Amino acid sequence: MTKARRYVPTACAVACAVALVVFFHVFYRAHLCHREQFSLFLWAPGPLAAYWTSPAPLARLVGDMLTQFLGLPFVGALIMSAVLTSLGVLVYRLFARWIGLWALVPAALAVLFETGRQSGLTYPLSSTLQWVGIVATLLTARRVSRPAGVGRAALGVVVLAAGIGLFGWGDWEKRAVNRPDMNVERMLAVDNDWHHGRLRQLERRLDRHASHPDRFDAYYRNLLLASQYHLGDNLMQHYQPFQLGLFLPVESTASYPIIYFSGELWFQVGDLTNAEHSALLGMLFSPNSVGSRPLMRLAEISLIRGDEAAAMKYLRLLDKTLLYHRWARMHMPQNRPKEVRRWVELKRTLLCTTDTVRAPMDIGVALRHLVEDNPDNVFAREYLYAFDLLGKDLDAFMDDYARFQPNGMPPQRTWAEAMLLWMTAHGGDERTHGDARRERMGRDIPPEVVDAFVSFTEQFRGLGSGPLTADSQMRQLQQKFGKTYWFFYHFAEMR
């Protein structure tokens, strides 16, 4: 029994620590990265001193200090494991005196409970550290107050008071119980791949989830395709929830990550007003209303705009962090290396050169404005075509294509398919005849697309006649043409 009492708790603690490392490193890594990205720990006297005027100062200070490392490979998982395992060990030691090995039960429950809560995006590490501190305080108070005596008791009271002062009265999240949400984790992982430019990994991740696609997947898939200039060739190869897969909403019902992620599109196409809007709102509604990642984005946006004063505001903040200090210095005017300067110049070529006043999230207007101002903005141009087509607005597409498609550039697959549809519908239309540009557009369509369209049209017109049932005809049509714009145009319905 004595041996068991000695080794079983140790073995349990080690097993728990290992399990937690594995869980956070293998299955919940993106969550840790995201939490780090939406926190900011400043090594500056003012902000450091401010901790001592807030509740649970030590827990908050240590918690926020550790959070800045959560995004580092292994380190983040090790930190989470260390904090949660320490809680388990301390809870065990608190109760073991009275209930022996049964103290493993409350210890395990405490670890499970706090692991669940740490799986949420809004529960800070400092809250678990508060529990760690409180239990450690109770243990210390018990130890120093033995053997009994007035002096010892007084010492115990002092320890308790100090513990409460340092760890007590913090912010306890309203949501009492939480558990890991692997959907959110997948979402964060997708974004993380995009953020770090791991495009192959992103593609693989999206492919793995292709059988259960959603708007979020479609958004990143389209970003990925457009970044490879393949949006027009592959638009219909993937799930498209109409225009909703092209952007993410910035609205009161959207969560802060979604609001923040919505800015990725705007940053890529060069609409910095919308990009800044998303970054600021995403940051504002995040748990700490601050974050290293949105600050970096805001600094980039300001640099591209040539707004050095605003950029310096953000860079100065990042300069006070351990992990982004170098990045900030690299982007300050006096230290900016050639590659940063070149990148900024490149991004500036995408910017609007004329002014408009419009409602936020006026997607079509924003994209058209970008392409009007800069016809070489391929990303925006492809998104504009896709926006028209996924809204089934063939007229708008043809107008935009005629206006913005550079001469001599053959249409990508989806654009060609859409053109055929429009031309069939407007065969005798005066808008086609006499319009040399549109006639030329028709000639640019590859013959294999025309052949496929003829075949599609035959089958489409034959629906409901012939020996096969309507269902099997439909199945055949879908099998052969399910990934064409023609099929989307005729059969896709918004649910």
Placement of tokens 């808008």 in the chain: 431
Separation CA 215–CA 206 (nearest Å) = 12
CA distance 41 to 68: 6
Read out DSSP for 396-413?
HHHHHHHHHSPTTPPPPH
To another protein, the closest distance from the beta carbon of 117 in angstroms equals 22
Residue number with CB closer to another protein (181 or 373): 373
317: which residues sit within 8 A by CB, 6+ positions away? 40, 42, 295, 328
d(CA 488, CA 491): 5
Give me the least distance between CB of 53 and another protein, in Å please: 11
Min dist. Cβ of residue 357 to another protein (A): 4
- Nearest-approach distance from CB 17 to another protein, in angstroms: 24
Residue closer to another protein, measured from CB, 366 or 421: 366
CA 128 – CA 442 distance, rounded (Å): 65
Residue 324 or 486 having the CB closest to another protein: 324
**244 DSSP 8-state letter:** G
By C-beta, is 211 or 354 nearer to another protein?
354
Nearest distance, CB of residue 389 and another protein, angstroms: 24
User: Encoding tokens for residue 423?
Assistant: 């031309």
Closest to another protein by CB, 333 or 337: 333
The three-state secondary structure class of 363 is helix
Count the Cβ atoms, other than its own, within 10 Å of residue 15. 11
Q: Among residues 352, 484, 364, which one has the least CA distance to residue 418?
A: 484
| DSSP label of 392 | T
Q: Is the peptide bond before 147 cis (omega within 30 degrees of 0)?
A: yes
- Residue 78 to residues 85, 93, 221, 324, Cα–Cα distance (Å): 10, 22, 32, 21
CB of 277 to another protein, least distance (A): 5
Q: How far is the CB of 63 from another protein (least distance, A)?
A: 18
* Residue with smaller CB distance to another protein, 35 or 369: 369
Distance CA 297, CA 307 (A): 13
Site for another protein, rule CB under 8 A: 42-49, 252, 271, 273-274, 276-277, 280-281, 284-285, 289-290, 305-310, 312-313, 315-317, 319-322, 325, 332-334, 352-360, 366, 369
CB closer to another protein, 240 vs 286 = 286
Kindly tell me which of 252 and 407 has the beta carbon lying closer to another protein. Answer: 252
421 CB-contact burial (10 Å; exposed 0-12 / middle 13-18 / buried 19+): buried
Query: From the centroid of its chain, how far is CA 467?
Result: 50
Nearer to another protein by Cβ, of 1 and 49: the residue is: 49
Question: Residues 130, 86: contact at Cβ < 8 Å?
Answer: no
Task: Give the shortest CB-401-to-another protein separation in angstroms.
Answer: 23
Q: Which is nearer to another protein, 37 or 484 (CB)?
A: 37
Shortest CB 306 distance to another protein, Å? 8
CB of 451 to another protein, least distance (A): 43
